[in-house]
Amino acid sequence: MVFLILIVVLVLGIGLSRWALARHESMMLKGFRANSPTAHTGGEIALMFLKSEGVEDVQVVEHNAVVTDYFDPTRRRLFLRKDVAQGTTLAAWAIALHEAAHALQTGDSLGELKWRQSCIRMSRYLPMASVFVIVGLMIGRILIAKNALFVAAGVFTLLLLMNLGSVPLEFNANKRLRRFLDEQLKDHGQAHTRLDELLFCMAIREIGDLLRSPRYFFLSALPGTGKMRPR
């Protein structure tokens, strides 16, 4: 009975991950084709937002790699791809602004932000790592197929629930943008609406990381792969 419940939860979770992944990719593709309402680049609008909130200690760093477009709370750096940092599209704005908003999550929220980032890393790398471990245990005849499936379902379900449990922090980041966007886009209603849709997709994008684990694992986790963050 427990095994059946675990499988059902896993199937539902994978379905949710597929939806989040598809939603994010399709909306961002459209967002990169839509010009921003002003000539400010993603990096510039992010710094404008931070300055409006009295935050002036965040540095924007262009960084093209498998893992990028995120805020590092320890070094107070906003890592963005070149097409985001220098782009003048709605998608560039959404990515830069959403990640910049994390810089406002200090105090108790800082601990929650770091936990959220830990959940994201686990969702990206542990699924593939667990597959290798489970297959190795099966080859060594330590695990039988049924138990291996149970363990895999348990690991994936736990990671998914941890990821989902920390998602509200992403919506909290979007909420911190509301006053700034209402002021900046008061004469650009259509752009405001589309940007809100893109920001929603930014909040849910890591829900799909469970399905992207092979990409992250093989392109950025193994020795000699990916690009490290600049010092």
Per-residue pLDDT tens for 61-110?
999 988 999 999 999 999 999 999 999 999 999 999 999 999 999 999 99
Q: Range of 33's domain? A: 16-221
**pLDDT-derived band of residue 231, with 50, 70 and 90 as boundaries?**
low
d(CA 9, CA 155): 12
Looking at residue 146, its pLDDT comes to 79
Beta bridge partners of 60: 78
Indicate the helix (H) or strand (E) that contains 209: none
Torsion of CA 207, 212, 217, 221, to 10 degrees: -50
Integer Cα distance of 101 and 174 in angstroms: 7
Out of 91-95, 121-125, 154-158, 182-186, least confident range: 154-158
Is residue 76 one of the residues assigned to a domain?
yes
Q: How confident is the model at residue 225 (pLDDT cuts 50, 70, 90)?
A: low
Beta bridge partners of 79: 61, 70
Domain presence at residue 2: no
Cα distance between residue 193 and residue 180, in whole Å:
14
- What pLDDT sits at residue 227? 53
What's the pLDDT score for residue 223?
60
Lowest-confidence region among 32-41, 146-155, 158-167, 187-196:
146-155
Residue 8 lies in a domain: no
Residue 168 forms part of a structural domain: yes
Instruction: Provide the pLDDT for residue 226.
Output: 55
Q: What is the chain's mean pLDDT, rounded?
A: 92
Determine, yes or no, domain membership for 193. yes
pLDDT band for 150, please (50, 70, 90 cuts): confident
Residue 3 lies in a domain: no
Pairing of strands 77-80, 59-62: parallel
Structural domain total, the chain: 1
Q: What is the mean pLDDT of residues 109-123?
A: 96
Mean pLDDT of 130-152: 88
Is the sign of the CA dihedral 108, 98, 120, 75 positive or negative? negative
Please enumerate in sequence order all residues whose Cβ is within 8 A of that of 44, keeping only pairs 6 or more positions apart, or say none: none
pLDDT higher than threshold 60 for residue 37: yes
- The model's pLDDT over 57-67, given as tens digits with 9 standing for 90+, comes to 999 999 998 89
First to last CA, the chain: 51
The pLDDT assigned to 72 comes to 97
| Residue 7 resides in a domain | no
Predicted confidence band of residue 133 (pLDDT cuts 50, 70, 90): very high
User: pLDDT tens across 176-191, in order?
Assistant: 999 999 999 999 999 9
What would the mean pLDDT of 129-153 be, rounded to a whole number?
A: 88
Q: pLDDT at position 147, please?
A: 83
